[in-house]
Amino acid sequence: MMLNIGNFMAEELDPFKISQQQLDDAAEVMGLDKTAHAILREPMETLVVNFPVKMRDGSVKIFKGFRVHYNDARGPSKGGIRFHPQENLDTVKALAAWMTWKVSLANLPYGGGKGGVICDTKKMNQTEIENLSRGYIRAIGRFIGPKVDIAAPDVYTNSQIMAWMTDEYSKMLGYNEFGAITGKPTEIWGSEGRFNSTAMGGLYVLREAAKLRKMNLKNAKIAIQGFGNAGKFAFDLSRNLGAKVVAISDSSAGVYSPKGLDYDKLAAEKAKIGELKNYTGKDAEKVSNEELLEMDVDVLIPAAIENQITNANADKIKAKIVLELANGPVTPAADKILFERGILDMPDFLVNSGGVIVSYFEWVQNTQNYYWTEDEVYKRLDTIITKSFNDVLATQKKYKDNGKKISPRTAAYIVAVERVAAAMKVRGWY
- Active-site positions read 114
Q: How many CB atoms lie within 10 A of CB 232?
A: 22
Please tell me the distance from the alpha carbon of residue 73 to that of residue 185, in angstroms, as a whole number. 30
Please tell me the distance from the alpha carbon of residue 322 to that of residue 206, in angstroms, as a whole number. 9
Please tell me the distance from the alpha carbon of residue 166 to that of residue 169, in angstroms, as a whole number. 5
Q: Largest Cα–Cα distance of the chain, in whole Å? A: 67
Please tell me the distance from the alpha carbon of residue 6 to that of residue 417, in angstroms, as a whole number. 35
Beta partners for 62? 52
CA–chain centroid gap for 200, Å, is 13
Task: Judge whether 354 and 385 are in contact, CB under 8 Å.
Answer: yes
Q: Which one, of 142, 177, 156, lies nearest residue 81 by Cα?
A: 156
Q: What is the C-alpha radius of gyration for the chain, rounded to an integer number of angstroms? A: 21
Please tell me the distance from the alpha carbon of residue 321 to that of residue 319, in angstroms, as a whole number. 5
Dihedral of alpha carbons 394, 398, 403, 409, sign: negative
DSSP code per residue over 330-388: B-HHHHHHHHHTT-EEE-HHHHTTHHHHHHHHHHHHHHHT----HHHHHHHHHHHHHHH
Please tell me the distance from the alpha carbon of residue 107 to that of residue 390, in angstroms, as a whole number. 13
Beta partners for 247? 223, 256
Report residue 151: phi and psi, to 5°. -90, 170
DSSP H or E stretch at residue 48: strand 45-54
Task: Judge whether 148 and 76 are in contact, CB under 8 Å.
Answer: yes
Q: How many CB atoms lie within 10 A of CB 391?
A: 20
